Each structure stands twice: as structure tokens, then as C-alpha cells.
Structure 1
Amino acid sequence: MYRIYTRQNHHNLTVVTLLQLFQELGFQMGRTERYTATTFFMGTARLLKLLRLLTGISVLQQVRGWDITVPKTVTAVEGSCVVVPCHTKPHSRVKWYQYHATKYPVVYDRAQPHKVEHQFKGRTSVVGKAADGNCTLVINDVRRTDNNIQVYAWINPDSSSTQKFHLQTVTISVIEGKAPIISLQEQIMDGDILQANCSIIHSCPSSPPSLHWSKSQFLKNSTIMAFSQEMQGQWLYTETLQGRATYEMHHSNITCSAQFSRFTKKSRLKTLNMLYKPVTVTLKLAKKPVTEGSSVTVECAANCNPPPHTYTWLRREMGQITKITSTLSRKPFINITRDTFILCIAHNDIGEGQSDWLDLDVQYAPVILPKSYCHLTGEVLKCVCQVQAHPDALIHWTIDGNDTLPSSFSAFSTNQTHVLSGVISGPAQSHSDVFCTANNTLGNSTKRLSVNLSDTSSLSTWLIVLIILGLVVLFGCTILIFRKYSRDRPAPGSVCNDTILLRPQGRQGLPDSVQLQSPIYNSPQRSEIEDSQSSPRRPESNPEVEGGVSDVYDNDCVTEIRLIRAQQLHDKETAHLREGQKQPPAKAANCNMDVYLNC
């Protein structure tokens, strides 16, 4: 009796038929036995077909029970992570294996992590929720040794399922990580916004490589923005650097680098091309030193981009400016003097800029200035010699033909911007002959200094005279002020002239002239009548007297005369009353009174 052996290996049903064995046995049997064997073989074949049919139906039902969706291949970037998408029905557990012909290496097992292969330990994880049917595998720190491995998922490995999960494998293809790519504007105007992009390709959307910028320190107010984009199963991570560009960034380099798990990739250098007007313009001399009367070539150097296309040269001498336009950055100048100054203006397509005035530092022979002098004060001689020279000159003195100064003389000098002042002083006679000589590397100059006498006594005399004149003027002004004050307000106690001329008026009149010889008063004290005059209103008087006498000068003397006249009239009336006379005395005749007072 023959049996059909079946072998179940790891929930996989395999049927082994022994047709060849039956055929070999048929050749060894007789005809009758062959017929019997043939009949048995045919029955056995039918049985095998039935078993195959039943087995196929069972496997189909199992596969349809766990419909797993996985890709055939995924691309991983070395140093990044790789995501193996996996979706199925809600489940309780998933286990990932690496496909092998004879073994079952574990790639991921949360329940038994110690069984995970060494090369995958600490690098694998499953994201998502099993309740949602998410069985996605993530492998971190992808290595080159991970290239072309095949992995497959086993859903609920603790169950008695005999599904052939190894039939749905995913192949991981590892590629080398590339350097990031940097891009920016070809030309940037000074003050415009610089925008640079740094992009890197990776395969780990949850953890892209970190990007680092190497940029100019002159980039102001820079900001960085990041975004990711899926691209044919991989991811493109980009950071955008923005900031205000300045001319100092011209020809500076900018790079970016991507940091993976175990290495760093750097981008290529990008050189910035800034456009800006001439910001610094400097002048350079082709030769030094410059002597007076010679020629010189000046170079105009401008810091700008693009380079200057036109140069404007200005030459200033004695306050006059000459303008010259040229396309050359080098310009020769002739007949240079000590007060020659040069300036350059550079022009490009963006704008213009100018240099400072260039002092050529012209060298010249000594020149003794006209303000050099000698003064003799008493028997002391003082001489000053002022010399203009560049380079600085040395001064030598000659007195009365002697080149060596006497020991009784003192000498010193001061220097101020190419002007040297030499001073000597000592005892000498008025007829001394003094020479000043100055020399430097370019020449010398000699001048005779005339001796001027200085008379200090005459100066003192004039000073005294001026002081005396000032005192006299001050005293005279004081006297004038005092006299004016005295004239406006006469002093009390003055004596008036007692001669008064009265002229008659009307039919009853006095004699043509009446002289009162009696004195008025000479009291040194102010009288009571005088005090009444200082009052704002006039004192009361006799109307008859006032009607008959008019005053020429209304002053104290006239007033006193009026009072005395009124008193005399009063005394007469009193005398008539005592004598008993009834007829009143005759009134004073009305007359005009001319009073000539000499106070």
C-alpha cells in the first residue's frame, strides 16, 4: 500500500506525489499487476486532484482574509530613514521579517525585541495604530548594507493562520546621499533682498536632515523658511534664506551643509555678485616724493561694481579749480606747486562717488618769510627768523660776520606745519649786522635782518598823558553836571536885589520910578512864607495889590516883594482906623511893574 506524504512547514502545505515511484514499480510487475497498478494510479491521481482543489480553496480564503497593501520597492537615501508603507485590516500585532530562503530573520518585533537581528536593533519601528490597520515600518539610519534586502509583514503572528505572507515582500533600494543644492540671484543690487535656497533630497519625511548656512556677516535681518515636497517616492527639503544685502558682501561666498545621521554633505560655493555705486574712491601717487615744479601721475581707485566708465579730475591751485574728464583711471599732472590739490570723481552705471582732496605733500627749498625781524630794546637785541620749507630747514645765524653766536646769546626754535621760527636774544649794539640762513636738502636761503630801535620811554610818556587827559575830561563832566543841577533848583537863603522899577498905569499912578531901598530879608533860615511857596497852591494875597502890580519874573524875590507891599498897605489901613478917619485910603494905582532882578 502506498501513501501520499504531505509536509507542513511553517503553516505552508506542500503535497509530494510519487508518480515516478509508481511507474518504476509498474515496470517490475507483470501484466496483471500492471493493470492493477494502473487502476490504482488513476484513482490516486484523482484523489490528488481533489486534494489540490481543496488546498487551493483553503489558501485563497486565507489570503483574502488578510489583504495587505505594500509597495514592491522603496528607495532609501543613505544616512536618512526609509518608510515602508503597509496597510491592512485592523489587527492586534504585526511582525516584520527579512526574506531568506531557509531562515526567518526578524526585522521588527515589539513583543520580543531581543529576537531582532543585530543589524536592525534600535533602528526599526512601526508607526501608526494597529486598530486603524496601519502596519508601516520605519528603518532609521539607512546603510549601504541595507541595499536590496526584502522585508515582509506578518499580521497577528500568534494566531494559527497559515497565510503565506512571505509572498508579498518589499525590496529596499539604497542610494548614496547627495550634497545639497544652493541657488540664488545672479546679480543683487546694494540694498535689495537676497534670497538663497538650499535643497536636499532624503527619504525620511518625519526627520529631514538639518541644514546649516555659511553666510556673510554683513547680511542684515536674515530669516530662514523651510518646506518639504514629495518627489517620486522621495522628499525634497528646502530652506530659504532671506536678508538685506549690502555692498560689503560683494565677492563673498555662501554655502549650506546637510547633517545626516552619520555624516555631513556640503553644497558647492556660491559667490555673490553685488551691484553698487563707488563707495570709496582713493587716490594713489605713482611716485614719491613730489618736488615743486615737477610732474606727477595720480591713480584713481574706486570700490564699486561694475567698474567705473568715466573719471572726472579736479585740480585746485590758489583757489582756482580746473576740471578734466577722462576714461582713464591714471592721470599725469605737470608743474606741481606747493598748493596743488587733486580730487577724483568716479562714475559707473549705478552712480558716482568722489575722493577726498589729495595733498601731494610737495617738497620745496626754504623761503625766509617777510615777517622776520630784529628789535633792539636798550642794549638787548632780539631777532626772529621765520622759514617756510619742506622738508624742514635748519637755521643758522651770523652776527657782525661771526657764524658762531656769542655765549651771552640764547637761541631756540619752534615748528608749525613746515614753518620754522628761530629766535635769538642777547646784548648787542644798534649797529649790529644780523643774517639768517636756512637750508634743507632742496636748497638754502639767506636774508639780512634790519635792526629796529624800540623806545619804551616815549611809550610811557604817552601813556601818562592819556591818563591825565582822561582825568581832566572826567572832572570837567562832573563840574558841568553840578552846575546844571544848581541852575535848575536855586539854593535857599539867596539874597535878591532890592532895586525894583515900578511904572505907573492909569490916572492915579505912582512916580515914574520908585526905589525901595529897604532890604528884603537875609535870613539864613527858610521863612514861613517861603515854606508856603513850596505848596502846590499859591498863598492868599491882597487882590488890590495883585490887580495893580504885574511881575516880570515869577520867582521868590517877586513873591516876597508882593508880600512886603501887601504888609505895608495893611499897616497904613490900620493906622487910618486908629486915627478915626472915615474915608478909606485910596487904592493903589494900577500899573505895570517891570522887575529887573539880579539874584
Structure 2
Amino acid sequence: MDVWQWLLFFICICVKVTQTEASSWTIDVPSSVKGLLGSCVVIPCSYNYPNAKVQTFTGIWTNDGNQVIYHPTESKMLEQYRRRTKLLGDISKSNCSLMIENLQQNDGGPFHFRIELGGYNSFSYLNKKVSILMIREPNAIDFSAHEDIKEGQPVSASCSVFHSCPTYPPAFHWSHSGEQHFQAQKLHDGQWKATSILTFRSNRTDHNKLLQCRVTYHGGKHQETSKTLKVKCKCAFLNIC
């Protein structure tokens, strides 16, 4: 094999190794996440890197101008993001999820993640950026309840909302006492559905009363909705109580 053949062989090997290593630097992050102004938002993120003996992990989030919005050393961050951003989970186990609190209009991004692996290598996932779509007010509450009920009958009502901050989910408050059950459902692109289910046994004093559901989001924004209960008496000779 002459010099040129050796050179060609060496170049092919280098290209193959480089391609293999590059393909191992992968990340799973949505292209956009909805966020409620004044509340918090969590950008779900998981990453992979080539197999290596890594000593330390440093996760960093930056904006399009390569300015740091999250770094474990706070002094390296933009001042307006200090004490507002936080990595969730274990960065050494490929969790790069980022939470931003007190969401502001200029927090739209786009942002990208960078991992620095001590004793090995560093990589910026520039091909996978995420933007935050700002929402000024929360979406309407999905409220379900039977309005026409019989005295003594078990009543079930549900109140559901969408949000993007599972670390601090919305709080539900009902105007009627009873047993409450909370459900959290993970959707897609960082969205979650939170549902509160209230069950109680009706009585005649509930007739014409409002059953109200109030939802308070992290940061203080709130909304409410209600329905009027119609309770029919047990007594066969009366239509209502």
C-alpha cells in the first residue's frame, strides 16, 4: 500500500470515528413550550453523550446570543435570570430539564443546552433549540358536574386545567366540602393536565347553591367557574326541596 492509499485509509477511519461520536451527542427537547406569564415553566430535556468515563457534569443553558441563563455558578449567569432558573433532576443521569420561575415577556428564547463533561469533552446542542410561547391568561377551566341531583345522592364534580409547571402544579379550591382527589397527566411538549375531583353527598340545603371551583397558579394568577345545583327531594309528594 503506497503513501496515498495509507492517507486515504486514515482519512476514512477518522471520518467514521467522528461521525460515530457526533451521532452519540443527542438530545430530546420540544421545539416550544407554552408558559404562563408570572408563573413558572419547565422545559423537559434529556440528553445522551458518547460512552466515556466522566468525572464531573456541568449543565448550562444559553440564549441565542450565547448568554448564560443557567449555570451552577450563579455569577456566570445573566443577572435577570439569577435565582429564577434551576436544573431539575440529576444531570449525571441525562436529565437536563430546566425550570424558569416568574416568567417574563422577554424569556421567550430560543434557548439551547450545553453539557461540559469534566475530563472528557463538551458539546452544545445548537441544532435543538426551544422557545417559550407566552400566555397572558390561563386557558378556561374544564368543569364537569351534574346539576340535577337527588337528595342524598353521591355527587361527583371535576375541574381540569392545562399548565406547564409540574414542579408547582395549580391548586384547586372548592366551595363545597367533600373528598378531593388530584390527578396529574403528562401530555406532550411540556404540557400537563391537572384535575381535581370532588365527591360529596347532596342534601336539601344544597338546592340552588353554587358549586364553585377556583384554580390558583404558581405566581398568583387565578380563575374560577361555577354551576348551580338543583336538588330534588326524597319525598315522593314534592318536586324539589
TM-score for both structures, normalised by structure 1: 0.34
> How far did 1:81 drift?
2.3
TM-score for both structures, normalised by structure 2: 0.77
Q: Which residue is 1:75 aligned to?
A: 34
Q: Which residue is 1:261 aligned to?
A: 218
Distance 2:80 2:18 in 1: 33
Structure 2 residue matching 1:211: 3-state secondary structure = strand
> How far did 1:179 drift?
4.2
Structure possessing the higher relative contact order (Cα contacts under 8 Å, 6 or more residues apart): 2
Q: Which residue is 1:213 aligned to?
A: 174
Q: Which residue is 1:92 aligned to?
A: 57
Give, as a single letter, the amino acid of the residue that structure 2 aligns with 1:105: Q
> How far did 1:231 drift?
2.8
> How far did 1:163 drift?
4.8
Match of residue 194, structure 1, among 155, 160, 163: 155
> Structure 1's 163 and 83: CA in aligned 2 closer, same or farther, altered over 3 A?
closer
Cα deviation digits, residues 319-370 of structure 1 (max 9, x gap): xxxxxxxxxxxxxxxxxxxxxxxxxxx94457xx9xxxxxxxxxxxxxxxxx
Distance 1:162 1:124 in 2: 21
Give, as a single letter, the amino acid of the residue that structure 1 aligns with 2:25: W
1:237 maps onto 2:215 in alignment: no
> How far did 1:152 drift?
1.1
Distance 1:141 1:200 in 2: 19
Give, as a single letter, the amino acid of the residue that structure 1 aligns with 2:71: D
1:170 maps onto 2:130 in alignment: yes
Match of residue 179, structure 2, among 223, 230, 240: 223
Distance 1:224 1:192 in 2: 17
1:106 maps onto 2:65 in alignment: no
Distance 1:130 1:347 in 2: 68
Distance 2:125 2:202 in 1: 60
Cα deviation digits, residues 353-399 of structure 1 (max 9, x gap): 9xxxxxxxxxxxxxxxxxxxxxxxxxxxxxxxxxxxxxxxxxxxxxx
Verify the 8 A CA contact 2:214 2:225 in the aligned structure 1. no
Give, as a single letter, the amino acid of the residue that structure 1 aligns with 2:143: I
Distance 1:276 1:226 in 2: 31
> Structure 1's 195 and 69: CA in aligned 2 closer, same or farther, altered over 3 A?
closer
Verify the 8 A CA contact 1:186 1:273 in the aligned structure 2. yes
Q: Which residue is 2:229 aligned to?
A: 272
Cα deviation digits, residues 202-257 of structure 1 (max 9, x gap): 11223211111223xxx6xx211111112333111111111111111111112122
Q: Map 1:301-380 onto structure 2 (within 5 A).
A: 347-349=237-239
Q: Map 1:439-454 onto structure 2 (within 5 A).
A: none
Structure 2 residue matching 1:64: 3-state secondary structure = helix
Verify the 8 A CA contact 1:62 1:162 in the aligned structure 2. no
Cα deviation digits, residues 180-203 of structure 1 (max 9, x gap): 332210311011112121212111
Give, as a single letter, the amino acid of the residue that structure 2 aligns with 1:255: Q
Verify the 8 A CA contact 1:74 1:84 in the aligned structure 2. no
> Structure 1's 127 and 241: CA in aligned 2 closer, same or farther, altered over 3 A?
same
Q: Which residue is 1:66 aligned to?
A: 25
Cα deviation digits, residues 534-572 of structure 1 (max 9, x gap): xxxxxxxxxxxxxxxxxxxxxxxxxxxxxxxxxxxxxxx
Identity of aligned residues (%): 25
The answer for unaligned runs of 5 or more in structure 2 is 1-7
> How far did 1:160 drift?
8.4
Structure 2 residue matching 1:63: 3-state secondary structure = helix
Structure 1 residue matching 2:205: 3-state secondary structure = helix
Q: Which residue is 2:208 aligned to?
A: 251
Give, as a single letter, the amino acid of the residue that structure 1 aligns with 2:67: P
Cα deviation digits, residues 414-462 of structure 1 (max 9, x gap): xxxxxxxxxxxxxxxxxxxxxxxxxxxxxxxxxxxxxxxxxxxxxxxxx
Verify the 8 A CA contact 1:62 1:161 in the aligned structure 2. no
Distance 1:160 1:277 in 2: 76
Moved more, 74-83 or 60-69: 60-69
Cα deviation digits, residues 104-124 of structure 1 (max 9, x gap): 2111111x2112123322121
Q: Which residue is 2:106 aligned to?
A: 145
Cα deviation digits, residues 456-492 of structure 1 (max 9, x gap): xxxxxxxxxxxxxxxxxxxxxxxxxxxxxxxxxxxxx
Bigger proportion of residues as helix: 1
Q: Map 1:431-446 onto structure 2 (within 5 A).
A: none
1:185 maps onto 2:185 in alignment: no
> Structure 1's 255 and 118: CA in aligned 2 closer, same or farther, altered over 3 A?
farther
> How far did 1:95 drift?
1.2
Verify the 8 A CA contact 1:257 1:264 in the aligned structure 2. no
Distance 2:172 2:215 in 1: 5
- Cα RMSD after superposing both structures: 3.1
Structure 2 residue matching 1:248: 3-state secondary structure = helix
Match of residue 114, structure 2, among 146, 149, 154: 154
Give, as a single letter, the amino acid of the residue that structure 2 aligns with 1:225: H
> Structure 1's 144 and 258: CA in aligned 2 closer, same or farther, altered over 3 A?
farther
Task: Pick the structure with greater CA Rg.
Answer: 1
> How far did 1:159 drift?
6.8
> How far did 1:96 drift?
1.2
> How far did 1:87 drift?
1.8
